[in-house]
């Protein structure tokens, strides 16, 4: 199975100067936990709900002044729409991440692949292996 068959299509990104308050509101409205960050037609990072909490509430910053650039994770880790789902899962496992932006042959973001997508489409053995690897730091 290819990544394109499992991903959520049509994801878009936020600008690096997007205020943290807008990021949190969008995550709440869309019931999502991550937003890719793009600049000059390129992905440059990812803001996750965990980034917002750990970097935003560090006690050293004014939350109302923070932007995506201040809290985002970088470099961007991604997969290709035409690669095998198992290969994308290997990336998720090795990097211990739960969401991957998906790019096409023209290096344009075309979707997002999450653990939920993997759970819905991958075999049980691949899913179990992925969950163990991504969650390994919790054991």
pLDDT in tens, 67-122: 999 999 988 899 999 999 999 999 998 988 889 999 998 888 999 999 888 888 87
Is the CB of residue 72 less than 8 Å from the CB of residue 56? no
Q: How far apart are CA 99 and CA 35, in angstroms?
A: 10
- What's the CATH code of the domain at 73? 3.10.580.10
Query: What is the rounded average pLDDT of the residues 125-133?
Result: 70
Q: Is 136 helix (H, G, I), strand (E, B) or coil?
A: helix
| β partners of residue 99 | 114
How far is it, in rounded angstroms, from Cα 122 to Cα 23? 30
Taking the CA atoms of 111, 13, 24 and 61 in sequence, report the sign of the dihedral they define: positive
The parent domain of residue 110 ranges over: 3-138
How many domains, in total, are found in the chain? 1
- Asked whether 95 and 113 are in contact (CB, 8 A), the reply is no
List, for residues 58-73, the tens digit of each pLDDT value. Answer: 777 777 889 999 999 9
Residue 2 CB neighbour total at 10 angstroms: 14
At which residue do the structure tokens 């969401």 appear? 99
Average pLDDT over residues 33-43: 90
């Amino acid at each position: 199975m290819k990544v394109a068959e499992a991903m959520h299509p049509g994801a878009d990104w936020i600008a690096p100067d997007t205020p943290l308050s807008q990021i949190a509101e969008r995550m709440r409205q869309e019931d999502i936990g991550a937003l890719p960050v793009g600049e000059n037609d390129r992905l440059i990072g990812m803001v996750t709900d965990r980034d917002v909490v750990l970097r935003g509430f560090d006690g050293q910053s004014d939350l109302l002044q923070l932007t995506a650039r201040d809290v985002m994770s970088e470099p961007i880790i991604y997969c290709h729409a035409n690669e095998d789902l198992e290969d994308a899962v290997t990336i998720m496992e090795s990097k211990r991440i739960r969401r991957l932006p998906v790019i096409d042959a023209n290096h344009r973001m075309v979707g997002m692949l999450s653990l939920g997508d993997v759970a819905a489409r991958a075999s049980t053995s691949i899913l179990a292996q992925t969950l163990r690897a991504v969650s390994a730091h919790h054991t």
